[in-house]
Structure 1
């Protein structure tokens, strides 16, 4: 018992001395005054209060830095490195005639036939279906599908596109444009990825006539990895040849106004959508209108989003974007927010109606394309989707892509003149001016600039910045440094171990050995008593 009390007294005395030595020799500001015996207790209290106040202020400022680190992990700036338009694809362009079907091809259908019912629905797509129509026998027993009907009765691309030239070179429009099914009906698309690279599932539903020229090789591309390092001579999707109208894409379109049956708007013309090469875009809500009898110039600017490699180390919810390969879609081969939302729309409508609309990806192998009977269900589901009432949980998961590419355009138009055309004369020379001004539209797509600067996502406060900020604050208010950490470790652990704990252990071991020898050999007891006494 006496030995235990003596040990506690030794430890207590040593700890006091160790703390006092630490206060005298530490690099932390103000603590040496607490161990100075030459000043009064009031002076020591002053420095103690100053040190505690510095700790409180330091903790508060570090908490603010940490809150900024957590709440704003990413900052968006302008990329310092310009990107050439020659290293990115020319916009994918979708052109749609506002006319849904050609009047000459549906003239023989009566209003009460199955085809006539489908035409009524097609011409009022998106509106509420008449209850009287829904009760008609040809509606209830109608198994016609919109996609098949449109392929057979809509204006084909071969008749819509009179002339196509890109980079001042006139080319066959059939080699550039392909028929695609959109929410606006049958349209023509340019410079979108080949279906083998664009989709995972059945490609015939969306793009049905994809045939390329023998000298054009389709390649894979996405905004993150870009083009392959080794490119063939003629590749697709193609990049721009340069800036200006002469290096852009020029189209001469024929609306065939006398063959109009019904328009998706209040007048004739075309709708044009510009989108990424990895997307099959929607047209009805976002497309530009191209008037007839006008020459229109669309001056294109690129909107690019990039991310640094350090952003990948953050969680997706913190950086609010997804890198390529982090989220696999069911139908589209490449991720983008618009592709993800398109699949969410399909999932929601399929849950409601057990079918997939003709213009949306066929996600599930066993799913069927919606027919006329299911039009009312799909219309109601699409309206709820547009209002945000359905599929909200799925859409929340559709974060933007960390690397993305989109386009915006400024449009200017002028009426087509009655003479001295600048367009190829072989196309228009056999047409009357009345027909041209009534049916023809000329449009030019071209880049404004040869380079662009994208928006760059970077880590706002990384670990290095957080460490430097906290170190600066602690150094300013307390004189804290890495050596201060070493001092605390030394005086708290290493010094007591080497100067107190190990000597005490050594002394106890010697004592135990002496006691054991005393117990085993009684004739040595006087000698051990002598040792203990001395």
Structure 2
């Protein structure tokens, strides 16, 4: 009786308080589960019905002819978009930068006056050389003196790119060369070089007299030792760090500190007698080697940027004649590069920033300095010694001496021409075989070149006739041209261009991509559920 009462109370609670599941409700619940696992075809049909891609929605509920039409149109538009997109991608990869005119009139005061290097025709003074050689051999007859002059001529003509001129002098003096094994060639060439006071008579800057020997300092070149004005590669300016070099050239903004001796001279005036004027003394022909040196008298004048070495072979001959005047008008051309370009690889942008590489001959990279080092390294490789021209690395290799002249003479024929890119037409195989591979020397991202107009003529001033040679270097225009290398097709430009093409042909956008990914994930999930249910 008690058991029946408890059972009846349980039935009452169950009827009043617990939910009852009817057969229809059970069937509905099962239906909710089964709707999750729709077929892939149904989901694809649902995607096409709601897709934001133009033309896609007309495929799901259309006749066969309409489906064929819209599928054909979508295919044509899709292929067209891919074709144009590929062209844009190739353009992005092949033409990342371009050089364009930024300014046609940059004020002259924004950059330094160019460096002026003067190389005397006499590289070896005969009297000093005989004194030097007399420490090693006895100079007691004319035959020895003649042969020693051949040695002097070989050293005088040992310069880029005319090393071949030393061949006959090396041949005529080759039996004497081993006797001078202990001579330090750098010391010999410095000792026999005409001094500043022997070369320069008077100097003017902005029309005012200045000390030539304070304005000019010793300069290392592939032509030998020279004298430079306003140069950071000279012995007086080589200590200046990269930051000062870039500040002087206007590449970076100047700070509040300037290293001593690193401030370069600038100019704002244009025309004759407004820049640098140099008066040279008459060449002492008793010290000249005559035909045994490149020029019989006078000096070679080279114009270059402050952080570059002079390019031997480009010098303009200033003859030592009474009243001879050499007038040089300079028009600078500046090339800069935007900071955005630095994000590209060196191979892509095709240039090197000054702080990206360092050379042992100078701590600021330029293409011309790199080529100089490449030539020096070739001579080191073939002859086992360093040329006396430049500062050498501490690698244990000796400096080339007088006994090494035959090796230098034989191997420098290979450094006259640079190896062209492989497959370039128009070059004989013999020339390519004898050329020098300096392909690692690519242009600098910042560069200043100088367009030059020159005139050599007699000058009627009596001061010029007293001092013989007169050099006048000045600006030819009030402003300079500036070019800028910049990214022409950045990744943002590529993205905008691709987006425009996709929208034009397909009405496509980033949201369309997200929509496609969403439906692909949904189809995969449904397929997984159907597979493992």
**Structures share fold, TM-score greater than 0.5:** yes
Of 450-459 and 306-315, the range deviating more from structure 2: 450-459
TM-score, reference length from structure 1: 0.77
351, 354, 358: which is aligned to 1:324? 354
| CA deviation profile, 1:43-101 (whole Å, cap 9, x unmatched) | 21011111111111111111111111111111111124854322322111110122333
Contact 1:348 1:391 in 2 (8 A): no
Q: In structure 2, how many angstroms separate the alpha carbons of the residues matched to 1:80 and 1:145?
A: 50
Kindly state the Cα deviation for residue 267 of structure 1 after the two structures are TM-superposed. 4.7
1:312 to partner: Cα distance: 0.6
3-state SS in 1 of match to 2:176 = helix
Trace 1:45-444 onto structure 2 (pairs within 5 A): 45-80=68-103, 83-103=106-126, 105=128, 110-112=142-144, 115-125=148-158, 126-127=163-164, 129-130=167-168, 133=171, 136-143=174-181, 144-193=183-232, 195=235, 198=238, 220-222=244-246, 223=249, 225-226=251-252, 228-230=254-256, 236-259=263-286, 260-262=288-290, 264-265=293-294, 267-283=296-312, 285-291=313-319, 292=321, 293-388=323-418, 392-393=436-437, 395-417=438-460, 420-421=461-462, 425=463, 433=465, 436=466, 440-444=468-472
Unaligned ranges ≥5, structure 1: 1-5, 202-217, 509-534
Structure 2 unaligned blocks of 5 or more? 1-30, 132-138, 419-432
CA shift in 2, pair 1:247/1:46, >3 Å = same
Q: Secondary structure at the match of 2:477?
A: coil
Q: Which residue of 1 aligns with 2:501?
A: 473
Find the residue that maps to 1:63 and give its secondary structure: helix
SS at match of 1:45: helix
In 2 relative to 1, CA 219–241 (structure 1 residues): closer, same or farther, beyond 3 Å? farther
Deviation per CA, 1:282-329, whole angstroms, max 9, x where unpaired?
A: 32x211222344222211111222111110110000001111321122
Aligned-pair distance for 1:400? 1.4
Could you say if the C-alpha distance between residues 107 and 366 of structure 1 is closer, same or farther in structure 2, counting changes exceeding 3 Å? Answer: closer
- CA displacement at 1:461 relative to structure 2: 1.2
Q: For the Cα contact (< 8 Å) 2:299–2:317, is it kept in 1?
A: yes
Mapped partners of 1:69, 1:132: distance in 2: 55
Which whole-Å deviations, capped at 9, do the CAs of 1:93-118 have from their partners, x for residues lacking one? 11012233345545786452574342
SS in 2 for 1:141: helix
Shift of 1:7: 13
> Is this contact kept in 2: 1:224–1:404, CA < 8 A?
no
The whole-number CA distance in structure 2 between the counterparts of 1:142 and 1:159 is: 28
Aligned residues of 1:224 and 1:324 also touching (Cα < 8 A): no
Are 1:88 and 1:226, in contact at CA under 8 Å, matched by a contact in 2?
no
CA contact (8 A) 1:28 1:480 kept: yes
Aligned residues: 465
CA RMSD of superposed structures (Å)? 3.5
Q: CA deviation at 1:379?
A: 2.1
Correspondence 1:9-20 to 2 at 5 A: 13-20=38-45
Cα distance in 1 for residues equivalent to 2:236 and 2:35: 82
SS at match of 1:116: helix
